């Protein structure tokens, strides 16, 4: 899965760079950055209908860009849940292993849980009496 994510990421970056270049090549109405690439060069290469070709190409690149974005988000989400469940399975195995070992079968009491070894003994006579309600 990591190989597929890496390949799609490389393709994603290439599509993004190509889309930036194609958008910058388009002629805006005010002849801004489109004139910087030489206004007549694109018409000589692609023909007189350059704006239509570039608009269609930009549309296709934008569609591919969004499809790749969606695909990568699904793959990243799938990779996250798969790793989490494997991690949980491993934790469950580690927690279940000590419970089934023979050493864990003999119960051992801790000094804190044993009432006889508690350093503070509260007798019923020394406990405060509940307040009387009127």
In a domain, 123, yes or no: no
Q: What are phi and psi of 101, to 5 degrees?
A: -75, 150
Please list the alpha-helical segments (H only) found in 26-121: 39-46, 50-100
Q: Tens of pLDDT along 80-119? A: 665 556 677 777 788 877 666 555 555 555 555 555 555 5
For residues 64 and 15, the answer to whether their CB atoms sit within 8 Å is yes
What is the average per-residue pLDDT within 3-8? Answer: 91
Q: Who contacts 15 (Cβ-Cβ below 8 Å, separation ≥6)?
A: 61, 64, 65, 68
Q: Which two tokens stand for residue 76?
A: 């990243």
Range of the domain at 76: 2-102
Domain count, the chain: 1
In a domain, 132, yes or no: no
Q: Is the pLDDT reported for residue 76 higher than 80?
A: yes
Question: Residue 71: its pLDDT value, please?
Answer: 94
What pTM did the predictor assign? 0.48
Q: Is the pLDDT reported for residue 13 higher than 80?
A: yes
């Amino acid at each position: 899965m990591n190989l597929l994510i890496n390949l799609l990421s490389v393709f994603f970056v290439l599509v993004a760079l190509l889309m930036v270049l194609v958008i910058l090549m388009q002629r805006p109405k005010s002849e801004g950055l489109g004139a910087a690439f030489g206004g007549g060069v694109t018409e000589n290469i692609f023909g007189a209908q350059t704006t239509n070709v570039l608009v269609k190409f930009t549309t296709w690149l934008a569609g591919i860009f969004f499809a790749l974005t969606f695909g990568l988000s699904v793959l990243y989400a799938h990779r996250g849940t798969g790793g989490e469940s494997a991690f949980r399975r491993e934790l469950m195995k580690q927690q279940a292993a000590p419970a089934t070992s023979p050493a864990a079968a003999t119960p051992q009491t801790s000094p804190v849980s044993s009432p006889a070894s508690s350093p503070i003994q509260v007798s019923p006579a020394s406990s405060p009496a509940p307040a009387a309600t009127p």
